[in-house]
């Protein structure tokens, strides 16, 4: 049997994390507690999330751009440790690798600012070089921390090759219908769903209203992630609120990324949609119990243990 094949395209950052009692307001200085550096970036977190959640033998390829600097070297070394295919990680000699400054408050909530650097120069031309990888994927995963025209170029290639596309519309931005109608699964959180639809999403009812608007714009499957409230899955003939796994949140950074990566891993091996969403919810729940983005991505065994418990 052919090995499952997940392709992720997107951002890679080095995260500078300060743990602090509460997020400082504009103009306010607060003394923090601990400082950590960890690998991050929504795209990279999704690739690592997929690689750790996937069944052994699954190929995960990451398409990205990093600087020709030590942060870029460290990011690539990390991907290799997770056995991620790095042939399409391009290097930018003019711009530095992406960096994110992150405050993590005592309640696990965060605030993130990103200097995109090389992520902002990942171009449709780069995507063209990776076209063969996209065409042979079982599933393509994207987010919005790289230029929209690059995201669109990848979606076009996937669409022509009939490769299903998961688009995690983060960070929130409005999207044109020509993109939405080529997306198979859209996975907004509450804020992203509101940006895309104008509906203030707070619960199952409002998530369903937002999903309906997105279906009308051509997206067949919508999964609205609602943090500690769970996730709402809306697909043809399948509307379901998925209950959250109860865990103590230390750091919610990258929970959405881990959800998307593990969802892709499960779907690539033929898991049914509902079961794949449960698997992804368990992975996301585990990720919030640890500090940092990529350090918190759980392994398949841990996810299966939580699902059994």
Q: Which is nearer to ligand RIB, 5 or 108 (CB)?
A: 108
Of the candidates 92, 95, 99, the residue with the CA atom closest to the CA atom of residue 65: 92
Minimum distance between the CB of residue 276 and ligand RIB, rounded to whole angstroms? 20
Minimum distance between the CB of residue 212 and ligand RIB, rounded to whole angstroms? 27
Strand partners, 241: 232
Q: State which of residues 157, 293, 297, 303 lies at the interface with ligand RIB (CB under 6 A).
A: 293
Residues 200 and 206 sit within 8 Å (Cβ to Cβ): yes
Give the per-residue contact string, 39-58, with ligand RIB (x = CB under 6 A; - = no).
-xxx--x-------------
The torsion of the CA quartet 81, 293, 89, 178, rounded to 10 degrees, works out to: 140
First-to-last C-alpha distance (Å) of the chain: 31
Q: Which is nearer to ligand RIB, 103 or 279 (CB)?
A: 103
Residues 10 and 43 sit within 8 Å (Cβ to Cβ): yes
Q: Nearest 5°: CA angle at 233, between 255 and 164?
A: 80
Q: Which is nearer to ligand RIB, 157 or 265 (CB)?
A: 265
What is the per-residue burial (b if ≥16 Cβ within 10 Å, else e) of 219-252? bebbbbbbbebbbbbbbeeeeebbebbebeebbb
Minimum distance between the CB of residue 100 and ligand RIB, rounded to whole angstroms? 3
Minimum distance between the CB of residue 114 and ligand RIB, rounded to whole angstroms? 5
Alpha-carbon span 210 to 226, nearest angstrom: 13
Q: Which is nearer to ligand RIB, 185 or 288 (CB)?
A: 288
Q: Which of residues 249-268 bind ligand RIB (CB under 6 A)?
A: 253-254, 257
Does the protein bind ligand RIB through residue 15 (CB under 6 A)?
Answer: yes
Q: Which of residues 132-191 bind ligand RIB (CB under 6 A)?
A: 145
The CB-nearest residue to ligand RIB is 40
Alpha carbon 42 to chain centroid, angstroms? 5
Q: State which of residues 5, 13, 252, 281 lies at the interface with ligand RIB (CB under 6 A).
A: 13
257 is catalytic: yes
Give the per-residue contact string, 85-124, with ligand RIB (x = CB under 6 A; - = no).
---------------x-----------x-x----------
Tell me which residue has tokens 């950074």. 253
Residues 158 and 82 sit within 8 Å (Cβ to Cβ): no
Interface residues with ligand RIB (CB under 6 A) are 11, 13, 15, 40-42, 45, 100, 112, 114, 145, 253-254, 257, 293
Catalytic residues: 257
């Amino acid at each position: 049997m052919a090995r499952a094949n997940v392709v992720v395209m997107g951002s890679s950052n080095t995260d500078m994390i300060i743990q602090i009692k509460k997020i400082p307001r504009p103009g306010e200085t607060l003394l923090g507690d601990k400082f950590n550096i960890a690998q991050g970036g929504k795209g990279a977190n999704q690739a690592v999330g997929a690689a750790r959640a996937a069944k052994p033998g699954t190929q995960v390829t990451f398409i990205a751009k990093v600087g020709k600097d030590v942060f870029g070297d460290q990011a690539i070394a990390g991907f290799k440790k997770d056995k991620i295919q790095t042939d399409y990680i391009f290097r930018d000699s003019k711009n530095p690798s992406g960096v994110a400054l992150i405050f993590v408050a005592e309640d696990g909530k965060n605030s993130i600012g990103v200097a995109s650097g090389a992520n902002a120069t990942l171009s449709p031309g780069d995507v063209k070089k990776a076209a063969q990888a996209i065409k042979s994927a079982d599933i393509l995963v994207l987010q919005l921390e790289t230029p929209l025209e690059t995201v669109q170029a990848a979606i076009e290639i996937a669409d022509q090759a009939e490769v299903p596309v998961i688009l995690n519309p983060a960070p929130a931005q409005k999207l044109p219908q020509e993109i939405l109608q080529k997306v198979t699964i859209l996975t907004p959180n509450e804020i992203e769903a509101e940006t895309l639809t104008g509906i203030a999403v707070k619960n199952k009812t409002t998530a369903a209203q937002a999903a309906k608007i997105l279906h009308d714009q051509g997206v067949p499957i919508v999964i609205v992630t609602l943090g500690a409230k769970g996730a709402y899955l809306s697909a043809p003939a399948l509307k379901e609120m998925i209950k959250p796994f109860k865990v103590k949140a230390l750091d919610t950074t990258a929970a959405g990324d881990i959800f998307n990566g593990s969802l892709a891993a499960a779907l690539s091996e033929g898991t049914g949609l509902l079961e794949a969403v449960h698997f992804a919810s368990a992975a996301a729940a585990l990720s919030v119990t640890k500090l940092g983005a990529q350090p918190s991505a759980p392994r398949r065994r841990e996810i299966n243990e939580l699902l059994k418990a």
